[in-house]
Amino acid sequence: MNDNLQIHLLRQQIGDTICAAPSLHKLLDSYVEHLLNYFQAGCGFYTPFWYEELSLVSSLRVYRDDNWQASEERVDKLCVQANQAYEADPSRYFLYSSNEEPFVCIRLQDQGHPETWLIFGLDAPLDETTLKDVSSIVPWLQNGVTQCRQGVLLNSAQTRIEEMTRGMAETMSQLVQAEKMSELGKLTAGIAHEVNNPIGFIRSNLETLVDYVDTFDSLFKELKSSAKTNEEWGNLITEIVEKFDLDFLIEDAHEIVNSNVTGIDRIRDIVSDLYAFSRKGNGTLLPITLTDVVERCVKLTKTRFDNNHQVVVNCRTDRPFCVGDASQLEQVVMNMMINAAHAMPTGGTLTIDISSTANRLLLKFKDTGLGMDKVTQQKIFLPFFTTKPTGEGTGLGLSISAGILQTHNATVTVESEINQGTEFVISFPLYVE
């Protein structure tokens, strides 16, 4: 095969390699294989040139006999020869020596990375034509490295853009959901306010009905008492009472009316709590009782816990007072409780503990749920971070809670282990009257 055909085939092989190589290492491997066959060299390898010194990395491989093999003694000597040739003329990117142990070294620059040197140990010196032909393909080799590195950067940028696009879409969805929840809060406040009026009417009517039932009860008792003095009248009264089972009706009426009063009182309390929770705080920090905040949230979150859950509230202080905005702190407590419910999908216990030290009021939430790893613990307070499935959480709950607590000069810490549960500890400045 003549020299012109050989260099033409080499250029074609290099061109195909540049187009097909999936990574820089694959590209350099192919360079070494093609050039070694072209040179008919004894061995070939590539190694980084870092801080004016060749680096013989532990992963260095040598190509010979059509196989990649472990490093050998000859590599050290070739590196010394190449380095000496470089020191003699640092401007040259094609280094060659025809001494007793001839070699070829091609320096390839890699912007932002160490140079890569392709080094070949020759079995015989190269003729002038071969040297000229090889020198002409050095720019091709350099262009391949540049293109490959740009391709890697382009793929990385493309991946990053796709991730950002997905993130923006998720963020937009979460913002829309957050806006819906905000509007729902306003709507809830309005509905709660409107519902309070008919609840008041019903409660008032039930109180009147209680009085009526008591009056009817007293009337029947007096009739029975009067019937004892008149046998004929007494028989008639007894017949009427037995016919219509009036004793049962009066007794049952008391129970029905009283249960209705209890039910409407519960509805009134729920609506009142819902209105208080949905009402936007004005940011004014006033002395509040933290137990009241917790108790109201326990009532509101009852539907979030089923029969397999238990919520235990312990107040271990006679000074459960702090300075804050009750509606904002209710939002924090609600978030903590709802997150605990999600962390215990098959049931468990949430313990809410209120205690105090000399100058701090501590509020602890400890669940027996799934727990979190260290990486998740570091991210839970970031906006839009959520471990819940898409559509079940905005990732804003704990982020908003952290912001609220910061305005209250409060701190929050978390301790958790996988399958061992999670404990949040919120520390407020203690308010002393």
What is the pLDDT confidence band of residue 341, given thresholds at 50, 70 and 90? very high
pLDDT at site 196? 73
pLDDT at site 201? 77
Torsion of CA 176, 178, 182, 187, to 10 degrees: 60
Q: Which residue(s) pair with 323 in the sheet?
A: 287
Residue 151's closest CA among 143, 162, 141?
A: 143
> Are 395 and 426 contained in the same domain?
yes
Instruction: Check whether 391 has a pLDDT greater than 60.
Output: no
> Are 49 and 174 contained in the same domain?
no
| Separation between Cα atoms, residue 334 and residue 355, nearest integer Å | 19
Amino acid in position 280 = K
In this structure, is residue 146 part of a structural domain? no
In this structure, is residue 165 part of a structural domain? no
Query: Which domain does 207 fall in, by range?
Result: 170-279
In this structure, is residue 160 part of a structural domain? no
What is the pLDDT confidence band of residue 426, given thresholds at 50, 70 and 90? very high
- Asked if 409 and 354 count as a contact pair (C-beta separation under 8 A), the reply is no
CA dist 348 → 35, 367, 414 (Å)? 68, 7, 19
The DSSP 8-state label assigned to residue 53 in this structure reads E
% of the chain exceeding 70 in pLDDT: 85
pLDDT at site 120? 92
Of the candidates 126, 159, 178, which is a domain's last residue?
Answer: 126
Q: What CATH number should be reported for the domain holding residue 372?
A: 3.30.565.10
In this structure, is residue 265 part of a structural domain? yes
Strands, sheet with 411-417, edge to edge from the N-terminal-most edge strand? 309-315, 348-356, 360-367, 421-429, 411-417
> Are 347 and 375 contained in the same domain?
yes
pLDDT at site 336? 92
> Are 252 and 295 contained in the same domain?
no
The per-residue DSSP string of 191-244 comes to: HHHHHHHHHHHHHHHHHHHHHHHHHHHHHHHHHHHHHTT-HHHHHHHHHHHHHH
| Separation between Cα atoms, residue 287 and residue 291, nearest integer Å | 12
pLDDT at site 217? 82
The distance in angstroms from the start CA to the end CA of the chain is: 102
> Are 189 and 200 contained in the same domain?
yes
Total domains in the chain come to: 3
Q: What CATH number should be reported for the domain holding residue 10?
A: 3.30.450.270
> Are 308 and 397 contained in the same domain?
yes
> Are 111 and 185 contained in the same domain?
no
> Are 82 and 227 contained in the same domain?
no
- Asked if 427 and 361 count as a contact pair (C-beta separation under 8 A), the reply is yes
Of the candidates 72, 93, 126, which is a domain's last residue?
Answer: 126
In this structure, is residue 139 part of a structural domain? no
Instruction: Check whether 412 has a pLDDT greater than 90.
Output: yes
What is the pLDDT confidence band of residue 193, given thresholds at 50, 70 and 90? low
> Are 380 and 263 contained in the same domain?
no
In this structure, is residue 131 part of a structural domain? no
> Are 113 and 11 contained in the same domain?
yes
Residue 433's closest CA among 354, 314, 318?
A: 318
pLDDT at site 270? 72
pLDDT, tens digit, 9 for 90 and up, residues 88-135: 898 899 999 888 889 999 999 988 788 899 999 998 898 888 888 888
> Are 238 and 383 contained in the same domain?
no
In this structure, is residue 143 part of a structural domain? no
pLDDT at site 415? 94
> Are 119 and 13 contained in the same domain?
yes
Of the candidates 93, 126, 159, which is a domain's last residue?
Answer: 126
Instruction: Check whether 398 has a pLDDT greater than 80.
Output: yes
- Indicate the helix (H) or strand (E) that contains 83: helix 73-88
pLDDT, tens digit, 9 for 90 and up, residues 214-255: 888 888 787 777 777 766 677 777 777 777 777 888 888 888
Which residues neighbour 329 within 8 Å (Cβ) at sequence distance 6 or greater?
288, 290, 293, 404, 408
In this structure, is residue 289 part of a structural domain? yes
